[in-house]
Amino acid sequence: MVLQSVKNCLWMSCVLRTPKAYFWSTASGGLIIQSVSNDVYQNLAVEDWIHDHMDLEKQQVLFLWRNSPAVVIGRHQNPWQECNLRLLRQKNIKLARRRSGGGTVYHDLGNINLTFFTSRKKYERMENLKLVVKALKALRPQLDVRVTDRYDILLDRQYKISGTAAKLGRTNAYHHCTLLCNADKCVLSSVLKSPSKGLKSNATPSVPALVKNLFEEDPSLTSEMLLDAIAKEYAVQHQIDHHITLINPTDETLLPGISDKTKELQTWEWVYGKTPKFSISTCLNMVYKDSVLDVKVNMDVKHGRIEVCNIDLPEQWLPPGLYSELVKSLTGSKFCPNETTTLVTTLLRLCPQDDELHSRWSLLCENMIRLM
């Protein structure tokens, strides 16, 4: 495997004085690049950049990347429905929304991502997946891997080792897929289990599947070996050199505008705000002074913000003025624990300093925040 670093590229291009042009328009019909970063947002931004800026008529690109622990939801999915957000926050696992469709996946360094960039006309997912299977079989002929018509790759006919998603634009398209080499299955299953009840939405649901790591099938396999095998097969099929060019997603000279793209992918408005409209209808079981209160809560959330909020409290449990203040504050604010905590603690400043009242308020608010 020959790795040619970007530095060499750029040094040469300094001599030629057209860095971008040299790097991107190689004479051949294909380019294999690998990200040096494990940041999910930076890597997704590279996908966006190539999709938006590259001319893929004459040249196709294979992009190889891996991420440190992250959950990636599809373009039109609902993070509250798809994963355990509380657990993600506790474990410091990032949440990202990609621009392609499809379902939710868990990424860590034991999972590799492959993105096949083509022009819109040459968009062909089956071919790409067949390429991956061919590469795997060339590496380990005994592996029982095959492509299904749902564009999954199955191991031993029952375990999913790869999921697919795609994005089509006006002139360009990309198809990316994962490949489970040695991911942490424990964390995977726990974070992809959502605790939310009573959530109704038209967001794309994920289809849960039994998964297995290729490493479990053959412990001699590593992520690097898989990446290399796939790159080799791609090179053969596109008749190009088996070179993997390293790319730094923070290089603004090579990828002008990339930092803006990276930033956008991390904004709340993108990750949470793009959630299709949904409603929550649930019952809070609050334990208060030896009794259990059943409090029905109904909320409509649009663009990640609470549009409508109804809390069915026993009469006079909270002073009516305070209850209406709570509902008024929540309406229009983000369906987000941080923002709600700030709002409710502020409201507490403004009401009478009564311990009983404070404890009821805290109880109710903590239960509400747990929904987010």
Partner 1 sequence: VCIHRVRSCSSIRFIKSKYVCVFDKSALKFSHQQRLFRTSAVSCGQIVQFKLSDIGEGITEVTVKEWYVKEGDSVSQFDSICEVQSDKASVTITSRYDGIIRKLHYSIDDIAFVGKPLVDIEIDASKGVASEEDVVETPPMSHEEHTHQEIKGHKTLATPAVRRLAMENNIKLSEVVGTGKDNRILKEDILNYLAKQTGAILPPSPKAEIVPPQRRAEAVPAAPKDKARKIPVPVSRPIAFAGKDKTEPVTGFQKAMVKTMSAALKIPHFGYSDEVDLTQLVQLREELKPLAEMRGVKLSFMPFFMKAASLGLLQYPILNSSLDENCQNVTYKASHNIGVAMDTGQGLIVPNVKNVQVCSVFDIAVELNRLQSLGSAGQLGTSDLTGGTFTLSNIGTIGGTYAKPVILPPEVAIGALGKIQVLPRFNSKGEVFKAQIMNVSWSADHRIIDGATMARFSNLWKSYLENPASMLLDLK
Transcribe 91-136 into DSSP letters.
Answer: TT-EEEE-SS-S--EEE-TTEEEEEEEEEGGG--HHHHHHHHHHHH
The answer to whether the beta carbons of residues 20 and 6 sit under 8 Å apart is no
Q: Which of 135, 188, 344, 371 binds partner 1 (CB under 8 A)?
A: 344
Distance from C-alpha of 37 to C-alpha of 43, rounded to nearest angstrom: 7
The answer to whether the beta carbons of residues 175 and 116 sit under 8 Å apart is yes
53 scored as a contact of partner 1 (CB under 8 A): yes
Nearer to partner 1, 209 or 225 (CB): 209
Tracing tokens 């790795």 back to the chain, one arrives at 3
Residues 258-277 that bind partner 1 (CB under 8 A): 260, 264, 274, 276-277
Distance from C-alpha of 306 to C-alpha of 302, rounded to nearest angstrom: 6
Nearer to partner 1, 30 or 304 (CB): 304
What pairs with residue 114 in β-bridges? 64, 177
236 scored as a contact of partner 1 (CB under 8 A): no
Longest CA span, the chain: 79
Strands 172-180 and 159-162, sheet pairing:
unpaired
Nearer to partner 1, 225 or 336 (CB): 336
75 scored as a contact of partner 1 (CB under 8 A): yes
Distance from C-alpha of 221 to C-alpha of 223, rounded to nearest angstrom: 7
89 scored as a contact of partner 1 (CB under 8 A): yes
Distance from C-alpha of 202 to C-alpha of 77, rounded to nearest angstrom: 9
Q: Which of 164, 178, 223, 262 binds partner 1 (CB under 8 A)?
A: 164
Cβ-Cβ contacts under 8 Å for 139 (sequence gap 6 or more): 221, 225, 226, 229
| Nearest-approach distance from CB 95 to partner 1, in angstroms | 12
| Nearest-approach distance from CB 102 to partner 1, in angstroms | 4
208 scored as a contact of partner 1 (CB under 8 A): no
Nearer to partner 1, 246 or 347 (CB): 347
Residue 122 token pair? 């040459």
120 scored as a contact of partner 1 (CB under 8 A): yes
Count the residues of the shown chain that bind partner 1, applying the rule CB under 8 A.
68
| Nearest-approach distance from CB 43 to partner 1, in angstroms | 17
257 scored as a contact of partner 1 (CB under 8 A): yes
Nearer to partner 1, 212 or 277 (CB): 277
Nearer to partner 1, 180 or 365 (CB): 365
By residue count, the chain amounts to: 372
The answer to whether the beta carbons of residues 150 and 87 sit under 8 Å apart is no
Residues 313-332 that bind partner 1 (CB under 8 A): 329, 332
Draw the binding track, 122-151, toward partner 1 (x: CB under 8 A; -: no contact): -xxx-------------------------x
What pairs with residue 162 in β-bridges? 153
Binding site for partner 1 (CB under 8 A): 18-20, 48, 52-53, 55, 74-76, 89, 92, 99-103, 120-121, 123-125, 151, 164-171, 202, 204, 252-254, 256-257, 260, 264, 274, 276-277, 305, 329, 332-334, 337-339, 341-350, 352-353, 358, 362, 365-366, 369
